Amino acid sequence: MSASPPPTPPSGALIDDERRFEPITLPCEWVEDYRPGGYHPVVLGDVFNDGQYKVIRKLGDGSYSTVWLARDLKNSGYVALKILVSEISGSTTELRILRHITEVAPAEEARHITRLLGEFEHRGPNGAHRCLVSEPMGPSVNTMVEELPQFKPRMQGMKIRYPLRMAKSILKQSLQALACLHGNGIAHGDFQPGNILFTLDDINSTPEDLLRQEEDVQAESISPPVQRLDGKEDKWAPRYLCVGQPLAPFTYYGEGFKVKLSDMGGAYFFTNPPTKPVTPLGLRAPELILTGTIDNTLDVWNFGCLLFELITGQPLFCIPGSDFEDDDHLLSLTARLGALPDELFRHWKSSSLYFTPERNLFNCQLGGVAPGEEPLMVEQTSMEELFDQADPDLDEEEAHKVKALIRWILQYDPAKRPSPTKILSDPWFCEIDV
């Protein structure tokens, strides 16, 4: 190993020739983000907050944080520890919003939102990190469906979607969470199935050795040792990375299960919307794509997409990242929900690649018709047709109600989209018992 210490890594985004480490191919956070301003290096067994919290398992990671299951050594039981990257740890909107919810929202009203139990600052080689303590939660609505016993073992031709009773309960509970936030002047900003989490089945009575993640490279629960390209010892990264292990085996999904809306990392007060949203591609509303407009009605649009997805088991808009992702999405919107209104359509700079001056569709080839090629036309499938093709577990009358509900929510004019409270008063939601 080289004797001279390595230089301090840069605190901004990397360019290719600044890479420090051998690549790690496991599903973990990017190792190069262990730098000043970035992630705090954590290994299993680390303790935080003056010996109060001992890390025993990694639950997951995101662009701005890692999340760990920790044993609370002072109060017994377990907590989730979210350790933010240091460059956003000063005073994050997420923290202000979590504090605000704790102060203003009654516990009953906020029962479907993960609540802040505590917070502290931790100093490490990459700076000062804000650490948020909350109740540990199970997998997200996105992934829990794969854990349901009826889909094990997986068979060809299986429709992997929640039973109708579960789907309706998830929808109502997540809508109640949204109503609570909006009622207190807060937009979630990243309302999607990956941020709706199942609660656990009495985890505090579970022995630690059943929950503890093994330091096992062969089983791929941790990565091989983190190694610098120059062979030197690195003081900004951990010895190894952990693969996230959600608490699926300890999750309750039986009668009366509960879900909670989590991750306020994209949340904002109505009075102070961000300039750049964190919305996944397929969930963007048309005004966001075309004008960059951000307000609380985007949450409602996202809910309409979730309603379609949970009942049918497939997304309404499936938009892969590409140079033409906006065109792809706008063409899908037009097919599923009808022609865009003039005030939106005029912002679509590349619309002439697909529409005649009279706004008749003549080409669906992304990027336009290549010289010497014929335009490409594909069958236009409406939202209702796609819904029926998925053959959801509803009778005709209920299917008609749900499609009408989706239409009511997914309106091109944001001002006409119903509020979460108004959607909750729809007869279809009133009939759902949670």
What would the DSSP string read from start to end of 314-346?
Answer: S-S-----STTHHHHHHHHHHHHH-PPPHHHHT
Q: Are residues 188 and 213 in the same domain?
A: no
Instruction: Specify the pLDDT at position 15.
Output: 61
Do 101 and 41 have their domain in common? yes
pLDDT (0 to 100) of residue 108: 87
DSSP string for 358-388:
T--B---STT-PPTTPPPP------HHHHHH
* Distance from C-alpha of 14 to C-alpha of 194, rounded to nearest angstrom: 28
The stretch 160-167 carries a mean pLDDT of 95
Residue 349, in any domain of the structure: no
Average pLDDT for residues 404-414, to the nearest whole number?
98
Q: Are residues 87 and 69 in the same domain?
A: yes
pLDDT of residue 12: 64
Which of 165, 112, 198, 178 lies closest to 432, judged by CA?
165
Distance CA 187, CA 412 (A): 19
Span 326-335, average pLDDT? 98
Percent of the chain surpassing pLDDT 70: 97
Indicate whether 71 and 173 sit together in one domain: no
Residue 10: its pLDDT value, please?
77
CB 259 within 8 A of CB 197: yes
Give the pLDDT confidence of 205-250 residue by residue, as tens digits. 999 999 999 999 999 999 999 999 999 999 999 999 999 999 999 9
Give the residue from 310, 294, 178, 197 showing the smallest Cα distance to 250.
197
> Over 60: is that where the pLDDT of 333 sits?
yes
Q: What is the pLDDT of residue 5?
A: 75
Same domain? 242 vs 333:
no
Residue 258 · residue 112 · CB < 8 Å: yes
298 — pLDDT class (breaks 50, 70, 90): very high
Task: Tell me how far apart the alpha carbons of residues 263 and 285 are, in angstroms, rounded to a whole number.
Answer: 20
Both 217 and 318 in one domain: the answer is no
Q: Report pLDDT for 30.
A: 96
Per the domain annotation, does 354 fall within a domain? no
Write out the two tokens for 94. Answer: 């997420």
Select from 378, 282, 362, 294 the least CA-distant residue to 330: 282
Asked if pLDDT for residue 1 goes beyond 70, the answer is no
Residues 23 and 79 in one domain: yes
CB environment 75-108: b (16+ within 10 A), e (fewer): eeebbbbbbbbbbbbeebbbbbbbebbeeebeee
Residue positions counted in the chain: 434
Query: Does residue 65 contact residue 85 with C-beta atoms inside 8 Å?
Result: yes
Residues 150 and 242 in one domain: no
Mean pLDDT, residues 191-200 taken together: 96
Residue 326, pLDDT score: 97
Task: List the domain range (segments joined by +) for residue 28.
Answer: 9-136+202-246
CA-CA distance, 101 to 269, in Å (whole number)?
A: 11
Name the phi and psi angles at 419, rounded to 5: -75, 160
**277 and 331 co-located in one domain:** yes
Q: Which residue has the tokens 């879900």?
A: 259
pLDDT tens-digit readout, 76-109: 899 999 999 999 866 678 889 999 999 998 888 8
Distance CA 281, CA 413 (A): 19
**Is 391 considered catalytic here?**
no
Residue 72, SS3 per DSSP: strand
Q: Tell whether the model's pLDDT for residue 70 goes beyond 90.
A: yes
Are the beta carbons of 171 and 426 closer than 8 angstroms?
no
Supply the pTM of this predicted model.
0.92
**pLDDT confidence band for 3 (50 / 70 / 90):** low
Considering the domain architecture, whether residues 267 and 132 belong to the same structural domain is answered as no
Q: By C-alpha distance, which of 184, 202, 167, 201 is closest to 113?
A: 184
The annotation status of 422 as a binding-site residue, yes or no, is no
Please say whether the beta carbons of 106 and 216 come within 8 A. no
Residue 4 lies in a domain: no
- For residue 8, the model assigns a pLDDT of 80
Residues whose CB is less than 8 angstroms from the CB of residue 17 and which lie 6 or more positions away in sequence, other chains included: none
Among 216, 246, 276, where does a domain finish? 246
The tally of domains found in the chain comes to 2
* CB 333, CB 281: distance < 8 Å: no
- Both 56 and 67 in a single domain? yes
Residue 16 lies in a domain: yes
The pLDDT of residue 431 is above 60:
yes
Q: How far apart are CA 52 and CA 75, in angstroms?
A: 8
Asked whether residue 266 is assigned to any structural domain, the reply reads yes
Mean pLDDT score of the chain = 94
Query: Does 344 reside within a domain?
Result: no
**Tokens (6 digits) for 322:** 């590409």
Say yes or no: 26 and 109 in one domain. yes
User: What is the reported pLDDT for 385?
Assistant: 98
Separation of CA 10 from chain center: 29
Write the CB contacts of 166 (distance below 8 Å, at least 6 apart in sequence).
253, 257
Span 354-374, pLDDT tens digits: 999 999 999 999 999 999 999
Q: Per the residue annotation, which of 33, 61, 190, 328 is the catalytic one?
A: 190
Round to whole Å and give the CA distance between 409 and 28.
36
246, 267, 300 — which closes off a domain?
A: 246
Within a domain: 196: yes
- The CATH number that applies at residue 235 is 3.30.200.20
Instruction: Look at residue 350 and tell me if it is in a domain.
Output: no
Domain holding 324: CATH number?
Answer: 1.10.510.10
Looking at residue 13, what is its pLDDT?
59
